[in-house]
Structure formats: structure tokens, C-alpha cells
Structure 1
Amino acid sequence: MSMFRKTIITILLLLGVAGSLLAARTFIAGHLFTKKMTTVPDVREGDIIFQVSQSGLSTAIQLATHSKYSHCGIIFKRDDDQWYVYEALQPVRYTPLREWIARGKKGHYVVKRLKDAATAITPAVIRKMKAAGKSFNGKDYDFYFGWSDERIYCSELVWKIYKSATGLEIGTLQTLKEFDLSSTAVKQQMKAIYGDHIPLDEKIISPVSMFESPLLEAIKN
């Protein structure tokens, strides 16, 4: 066997070993990733999921509402039979549930469900919820936290879908002036959003008001 042929065979063998190792490493890494990301709760359509988003606006919301939870959405299935969170981010959209969970601070989340969901959240109601939510799909996030449907923020989306489809009000509407606006972080955000014209009488539904609603019970903490 010529030296050239021996060299080629050696290279091919080395490439084969390297390829096998790479394939094995990819399989193991993929398996571990899948195992880690399959720790999803036994959710149902219509469940409301809460998390701490990682942004300056989130910090201001936490300080103003005295709650660590600053973002929420509704859990639905889509045509591919996978779980998604319908959320008002930028823009309003469906986000795969695992991706949504991973995006939050330290992957922490809380799922809440109507206490009488077994009778109140029927397949017909889910269809109504999805139909109500469809009118908001693709709309811009509402940094002004206004109550019109032109732009939508997270808890407003969830509240309006529930109100439209079930008649229930999840959480209590408040005005902006009812929140704690005293911290520097809140003042800076309000200045950036509103300038010198702060709409103190604008009605708002906060994530914490929904989180604390007596109509809901925690499914996963």
C-alpha cells in the first residue's frame, strides 16, 4: 500500500472518529436540552401565565405595582398541536411556551387558572377567546398603557380576551395615579413615555391585579 493511500485512509478514519464524537456530543447535548425544556406544567388552554421580564420597563412596573410579576399571557394550542403563549410584546404574537418560559428571569413562571375552569372554559369558550384575540394579533405594544384597542400591552390583552369571551373581569381596573409613582426608576420611565403630560386618570389593568384575582388559582409556582 502506497504512503499516499495510507495517509488518505488515516485521514478518513480520523474524520470518521471525529464525526462520531461530534454526532454523539450533539445527541447528548440535544437530549439534555430537551430534558431540561420538557419541564412544562400540565397546562390547559385559557390558563394565564406570569413571569418577570428582563427590561428597564419591567423594573418600573414592579416598583409601581409592588409586585415581582411584570408580564403575562394566555396559553393556547395552535394547529400544530403545540403549546403557545399569546402575548402582547412587540408585536402581539404567539410565542412557543418553552421559549416564553426560557425568556423570563431565571426561567421562573406561575400558571393560574379559573377556579371553575372545568365548567367555564369549554371548547366553545376557547374558540371565542381565540377569535377575540385574533383582532389584536400583530398590533404594536402599548408603551403608553392606554385603554384603546389601537395598541395593546400584556395584561390588557389578557383582560380584554377574557372579558369578551367569558364576561369575566380578571383583576380590577385602576387609574395610573393609584400606583406608586415615587421611585426614581418609575419617574424616569414615565418621563420617557409621557414627557410632561402624564395621564394620571387613564385606566389600567396591571399584571399584579390579575395575578391576585380571587377568580384564579395557582397551578404551578
Structure 2
Amino acid sequence: MFSSHTNSPSLEIGDIIFTCIAAQLFKSISKASLCWSNHVGIIIGHNGEDYLVAESRVPFSTTTTLKKFIKRSNKRHYAVRRLNNTLTEQQKLAVCSQVPQRLNILYHTGFKFDSKRQFCSKFVYEIYKEALNLEVGKIETFNDLLKSNPNANLTFWKLWFFGRIPWHRKTVTPASLWFCPKLNTIFDSHPEISNSDTKKVG
């Protein structure tokens, strides 16, 4: 594969890119899930100059270049995780085939997995599930997520959900992808930050 970034490895279709958005909502996601990363995208190819990343972001799911994707991350911190078993060419095609139908879909700021709308970790989770029948990440309820962290800022989430946290709502977080044992970290621009997280997700 091509390599567009001097200090990073060659990337492959299906690689998951992790970043950290500094906006308050996303910082609260990091705090609630005990993970530095709060945004993810997936490599879907190369345009001759840079890798292409598919992602769900505000306001619509879209594609962008890796350079632009990383530029939005706090301190330009990014990491790359890849399936432990390398994808075949047929599997890479299957992954890419799942992307077009998920583009130009509104972002769900309530992170409801069962909604027709998208959010970043659901976007990547569903692509892997539909293309390869693999669960990369973990579906959990807000109750599971927030109650597992005694230091979670419930005040913020109550305000975000207009006074009532949807405890039984299903969601999937960037953290569950970051800690997924099916994936291996092949690059991390700031490992001293990433390695400070100790939570493990099965």
C-alpha cells in the first residue's frame, strides 16, 4: 500500500483510525468511556496523494483525506488499529461496498444505535458487521457505560439529554473499538497518552 505520512506505516483498507476531538461533547465521551479516543473512521482507499477515510461526523457521514481527518484531532493525536487476521482482497472489497449506502446520513447526537442516523463508532461497527459478520466493538446501554465509571459526569449527560438520561438506549463507543481484542494497534502518534488508559473491553 501507499504511505503518505513519513512517520506512519503503510495502511490498508479496513484499518480503523482513532482520533480525539476537543469539543466538549466529545471530551465528555472520552471521560465517560475512560478512553483517549472519541472519534473513529475507516480507511477505504487511496486517491494517489493520500489515504481516504470514511466517517460519520457532524452533520453528515462523508469521506475525507487522512491528512484532514488527523488535522481535526487534538494535538493531531491519531492511532491505527487493524484486525489481527489480515483482510483478503475479497474482504476489502466487501468492506468498501458497505460505505456508499452509509454516506450523506445525518449524525445522531444522541448516539442511539437503533436509529437510522449514524455516529462514528456505529458507522465503523456496522461496516464490519455487514461486510464480514465481525463485531468490532461492543454494543452496550448507557446504563452499562455510565455506571461502569463512578467518575462519569452525569450532570453533563442529564443536560445533554434535556434532564433525562436514556439509560436503556443501546450505543457503541470509540472506546469499545479501541479496546477490542480482535484489533491490533499498528501505529500511535502519542502512545504516552493512549497507554494511560487501563480499561479493557472484551
When the two structures are superposed, what TM-score results if normalisation uses the length of structure 1?
0.75
More helix by share: 1
Query: How far, CA to CA, are the matches of 1:167 and 1:85 in structure 2?
Result: 21
Query: How far, CA to CA, are the matches of 1:55 and 1:125 in structure 2?
Result: 35
Q: Segments of 4+ in structure 1 off by > 6 A? A: none
- Indicate the residue corresponding to 1:88 in structure 2: 56
1:188 and 2:143 correspond: no
Return 5+ residue gaps in structure 1 as ranges: 1-35
- Indicate the residue corresponding to 1:52 in structure 2: 20
- Report the AA paired with residue 201 of structure 1: H
Q: What's the CA shift string for 1:128-150, capped at 9, x where partnerless?
A: 22221211101111101112352
- Report the AA paired with residue 216 of structure 1: L
Residues 184 and 166 of structure 1: CA distance in aligned 2, closer, same or farther (over 3 Å): closer
CA contact 1:40–1:98 (8 Å) conserved in 2: no
- Structure 2 counterpart SS, 1:93: strand
- Indicate the residue corresponding to 2:125 in structure 1: 159
Counting matched residue pairs gives 182
More strand by share: 2
Q: Using the TM superposition, give the Cα deviation of residue 123 of structure 1 relative to its aligned residue in structure 2, in angstroms.
A: 2.1
Query: How far, CA to CA, are the matches of 1:122 and 1:75 in structure 2?
Result: 15
CA contact 2:91–2:132 (8 Å) conserved in 1: yes
1:61 and 2:29 correspond: yes
Q: What's the CA shift string for 1:14-37, capped at 9, x where partnerless?
A: xxxxxxxxxxxxxxxxxxxxxx96
1:73 and 2:41 correspond: yes
1:202 and 2:169 correspond: yes
Query: How far, CA to CA, are the matches of 2:71 and 2:49 in structure 1?
Result: 20
Q: Which has the larger radius of gyration?
A: 1
Higher relative contact order (CA 8 A, sep 6+): 2
Return 5+ residue gaps in structure 2 as ranges: 189-202
Q: Which moved more, 1:178-187 or 1:123-132?
A: 178-187
- Structure 2 counterpart SS, 1:72: strand
